[in-house]
Structure 1
Amino acid sequence: MLPIMLTCCVRNVLSRRLSRLKASQCSLTPTLQYTRRHCSTSSTEDVDLVRTLMQLCVDRYYISPGQTNVDLFRRGMSCRYGPLGMELRRNLLDQWWHAVTRSTVQVFGINTLSSSEDTATDGRGQLRIVESEHVKQILEQQDLSKEQLVQEVRQLLQRSPSMRTNFLQGALEEFVPSLELVNRKLPFGLAETGLCFQPSDGSGCPAELTQTSLVWFCSPRTSSQWLDHWTRQRLKWWRKFALSPSDFSSSDVPKEELEETVSRGVRITYNFPWGQEPLEELWSRGNTELLQTHKGVRSKLQCRDGRKSVPCVVSVTGNMDRGVMAFLSNSLQQVKKEHGKQKLQQRKVLKLHPVLAPVKVALDIGRGATMELRQVCEGLLQEFMEAKISAWPGYLKSLPTVEQLNAKYDEMGVLFTVVISENTLESGLIQVRSRDTTIKETMHISEIKNFLSRYISAADNI
């Protein structure tokens, strides 16, 4: 008995059931609609770039194959990630968490649950979960009239838990206990990450997305300054990991697009080949929603700021699935080069930031592989794992040529390739190739772990 989300999918079934009763279609709890942005690519070059990027993501283990899965990823929704895509998303979330919680002392991590009630909307416009068997049982009751059928479904909806579309409500509920933690002093923030549901386009079947949330509580007189502060911090963070930082930008949200409780908004966007898409949204929300959550009891919301005022809320909400796609798009380079007597070739490489790259180093064996060389690779792989340096065991499977091997790792975004050869057994020397420069250099095997650690640390501190 599997849980399902009751959206347009169920409404379609109800429509058919009601038609047999010779009644018009019943209007059930409305769901928010996701406006799908279609590709507005203006040139063949951009179309080819998008196609190349998506195919590379599939071929190099970032996302699983299948047109539906590719479409989800393209739309910035959570999809079936491959091993490298999962690692990239994890690295991105780790960096977001460290940047937000370490940027100021007063940011705390929380973990909230989806609520069966929504104090801000009174339950209207929500996604809810019901068991398919319960829906089936209602629809199979042939003796029910139209009104009885509608009543049964409404009661089922009221009993069913809602699906979370963001983390704001949970943070607002956590404000009072957190206020005691900080001795009732402002400002402070609550951070959370995880999966949320968003209604999709006309299909009516919601999709997941990996969302980040920072809810910042501050004095009303400083809320505008804090919105500016977090806008600068977040834009700087996105650009830090970018190969082309200018593709990330921020802009104020037009007043006509603001919700009733929001006084000002800012969007951080990425310029994809098909147009700009939002990565993070920052809102100055005032204190209306906070008061609604706590039933208007101002006394327990007041802080020690000398004014006995209710704090204002600044929310920062990000879509990390779209962030993953943005960095993959931003890092893809196609470099044309002459290769010996062959024709002009195109080298595709994912120049992901060293901190984000899913694989830092690949281990391979040169010609004349022996059992001793494999043992050296296994020992070196264990050292990397202990140092928390992600490594790819390429020595387990060899490609026909070095050029093919390098092309594969470049497309995977691997920072360095290490080749263990017979010379390693004699002198301890290994060959190290850089993804970004393609330069090969020789170093002692005892130096490689510290070299990688210093390289990644230096890139993180820039």
Structure 2
Amino acid sequence: MLTYCVRRLLTRQESSHTSLFSVSQALQVIRGRCSDTHEDFDQVSTLLNLCTDRHYISPDQSHRDSFQRGLSCSYAPLGLELRKNLLDQWWHSVTRSRAQVFGISTLSCSQERAVGGDRELKVVDTESLNQVLDLKELSRAQLSQEAQRLLRRMASLRTNIFQGALEQYVPSLDLVKKKLPFGLAETGLCFQPSDGSGCPAEVTQTSLVWFCSPRTSGQWLDHWAQQRLQWWRKFALGTSDFSSSDIPEDELGAGVSRGVRILYSFPWGAEPLETLCNRGDAELLQAHKGVRTKLLCRDGRKSVVPHVVSVTGNMDRGVMAYLCNSLQQLKRVEDSKHVLKQRKVLKLHPVLAPVKVAVIMVRGATVEIRQVCEGLLQEFLEARISAWPGYLETMSTSVEQLYARYDEMGVLFVVVVSENTLESGLLQVRSRDTTIKETMHISEVKNFLARYISAADNI
């Protein structure tokens, strides 16, 4: 519920004749300022420092290293929100792109072996292992056999989530009336073998497994490759950093006839964000012990075992890619002495930005102004617009310093509440991307932000 001060302001008849920011205008300004970006600064070091200073990842060096390698790390609040926004957008883009794509959720531990002979990671009960090691009457060979038997009984951690869709294929046939094509989508954590540290690494993975006719599998691979590249570029500040390329034949896995990678050009080189493969039917048959009859689907009038097209993504690397893509370090002249200053900005896409608006106040009748800020913040949260309570700052910080901090956090807009707001209902809204400050009536701000974010999602 809004406080009395905010309700009083909202009911006033005065309204501002301000021109609202438009998404297209903002994007034009962003592109125009791209030419001012410094290319000579250490982008990787600057980005990692900014991410730890501005609440994206944990400051511990091991987490910084994992993040740069495209692995899950200890995310701070803004980093977690950015990854969540990216996963939500991935999910919507895949499940709403075709009528017959369904979500599933499978276990990260399974007694089943990985398809294709992948290296397995086992979950070992230390008490059971100690019991085996305490059998001192056994010879070394017998002890080894007992340990092997114990490991076979232990569950395997998944190294990818592709296997889960193969297992869910037969139960899903009733859902689609045994008619091709259809797909199963899933997101979740996977575990990669240790690189020598002794601890498996975690990766936030996405998976779309598309079951289709053998005669159309190549066309579907092309379709999904184009769709996925367009999706990654949709949220990019510089689209040329995202590209696709065919996987060389000598790098294709067993049973894979063709593959495509969606790549991002990091400062240290191109890294894959998503990998698409035409896998044929071998792994599907293997997952169901070669029983073809229960795998048959209708392709027109024919009954066929479908071919599998997989789309596997690394969303931790995707988060790193968008942070790297959005970071700009700009030169600008400030104050009357024409001092040249640098400004770091995370120009994340409005849909992905973890915080859409920060609410701050200037000095004055602080009790009433704070009440207005609290009411505004609550109104934003109720409208599901992520907001930052900048008015709670206890240190003496200038408004310009706050602007610089929120630019580095990637905050889209800063709303400034002042004594003038109490008198007329007018406040100031400052844009991250244009740095333009405009006057707006307090009753207009929420709808403006909602329209801006919605419009950005549709561009």
TM-score (norm 2): 0.88
Match 1:127 to one of 92, 112, 121:
121
Structure 1 position 164 matched with structure 2 position 175:
no
CA distance in 1: counterparts of 2:259 and 2:137, whole angstroms: 52
Shift of residue 46, structure 1, vs aligned partner: 6.8
1:114-157 CA-to-partner distances (Å, cap 9, x unmatched) read 321126346x6200101233333433444432212211211110
How far apart, CA to CA, are the structure 2 residues paired with 1:451 and 1:304? Answer: 49
Instruction: Decide which of 240, 254, 259 is 1:260's aligned counterpart.
Output: 254
Instruction: Determine whether 1:430 maps to 2:427.
Output: yes
Q: 2:208 aligns with which of 209, 214, 232?
A: 214
Distance 1:118 1:313 in 2: 19
The answer on whether the counterparts of 1:119 and 1:293 sit within 8 Å (CA) in structure 2 is no
Is 2:177 the counterpart of 1:180? no
Question: What's the offset of the Cα at 1:264?
Answer: 0.4
Distance, in Å, in 2 between the alignment partners of 1:127 and 1:414 is: 40
Structure 1: which 5+ runs fail to align? 1-43
| 1:146 aligned residue | 140
Q: What does the per-residue CA deviation read over 1:166-200, in whole Å, with 9 as the maximum and x for residues that have no partner?
A: 11111011111111111111100000001111114
Alignment-derived partner of residue 348 in structure 1:
344
Residue 367 of structure 1 corresponds to 363
Q: 1:312 aligns with which of 285, 307, 328?
A: 307
Name the residue aligned to 1:287: 281
Q: Judge conservation of contact 1:72–1:78 (CA < 8 Å) in 2.
A: yes
Give the aligned residue type for 2:364.
Answer: G
SS at match of 1:180: coil
1:90 pairs with 2:87: no
Contact 1:364 1:420 in 2 (8 A): yes
Name which of 422, 439, 444 aligns with 2:441.
444
Q: Any conservation in 1 of the 2:114–2:120 contact (CA below 8 Å)? A: no
- Which shows bigger deviation, 136-145 or 83-92? 136-145
> Counterpart in 2 of 1:24?
none
Cα distance in 1 for residues equivalent to 2:344 and 2:114: 51
Asked whether the 8 Å contact 1:62–1:82 carries over to 2, the reply is yes
Correspondence for 2:245: 251
Gaps of 5+ in 2: 1-37
Pair 81,119 (structure 1): closer, same or farther in 2 beyond 3 Å:
closer
Residues 450 and 55 (structure 1 numbering): CA distance in 2 closer, same or farther, change over 3 Å? Answer: same
The residue type paired with residue 387 of structure 2 is A
Q: State the SS of the aligned residue for 1:313.
A: strand
Q: Is the 8 A contact 2:114 2:158 kept in 1?
A: no
> What SS does the corresponding residue of 1:57 show, helix, strand or coil?
helix
Structure 1 equivalent of residue 66 of structure 2: 72
CA RMSD between the two structures? 1.5
Structure-2 change in CA distance of 1:143 and 1:461 (3 Å): same
Distance 2:310 2:41 in 1: 35
Give the corresponding residue for 1:28.
none
Would the aligned equivalents of 1:110 and 1:190 in 2 still touch at CA under 8 Å?
A: yes
Indicate the SS of the match to 1:433. Answer: strand
Tell whether the 8 Å contact from 2:221 to 2:309 is kept in structure 1 after alignment.
yes
Q: Which amino acid aligns with 2:76?
A: G
Deviation of residue 355 (structure 1)?
Answer: 0.1
* Rounded Cα–Cα distance in structure 1 between residues aligned with 2:231 and 2:200: 30
Give the C-alpha shift of residue 267 in structure 1: 0.4
SS at match of 2:42: helix
Q: Say which SS state the counterpart of residue 186 (structure 1) adopts.
A: coil
Q: Does 1:136 align with 2:136?
A: no
Could you tell me which amino acid in structure 2 is paired with residue 116 of structure 1?
A: Q
Determine which structure has greater relative contact order: mean sequence separation of CA pairs < 8 Å that are 6+ residues apart, divided by chain length: 2
Size of the aligned set, in residue pairs, is 418
Greater CA drift, 211-220 or 361-370: 361-370
Q: Distance in 2 between matches of 1:92 and 1:258?
A: 28
Aligned partners of 1:194, 1:91: CA distance in 2, in Å? 14
Aligned to 2:450: 453
1:408 to 405, 409, 426: 405
Q: Is residue 46–residue 274 contact of structure 1 (8 Å, CA) maintained in 2?
A: no
Report the Cα distance in structure 2 between the residues aligned to 1:184 and 1:79, rounded to whole angstroms: 41
Residue aligning to 1:40: none
C-alpha distance in structure 2 between counterparts of 1:200 and 1:119, whole Å: 17
One-letter code aligned to 2:401:
Q
CA distance in 2: counterparts of 1:368 and 1:47, whole angstroms: 40
Residue 45 of structure 1: how far off its partner (Å) = 6.4
Matching residue's letter, 1:191 = A
- Once the two structures are overlaid, the 10-residue window that deviates more, 317-326 or 143-152, is 143-152
Q: Scaled by the length of structure 1, what TM-score is found?
A: 0.88
Larger CA deviation: 348-357 vs 370-379: 370-379
In structure 1, how many angstroms separate the alpha carbons of the residues matched to 2:96 and 2:370? 42
2:317 aligned to 302, 307, 322, which one?
322
CA distance in 2, matches of 1:423, 1:336: 32
Counterpart AA for 1:228: D
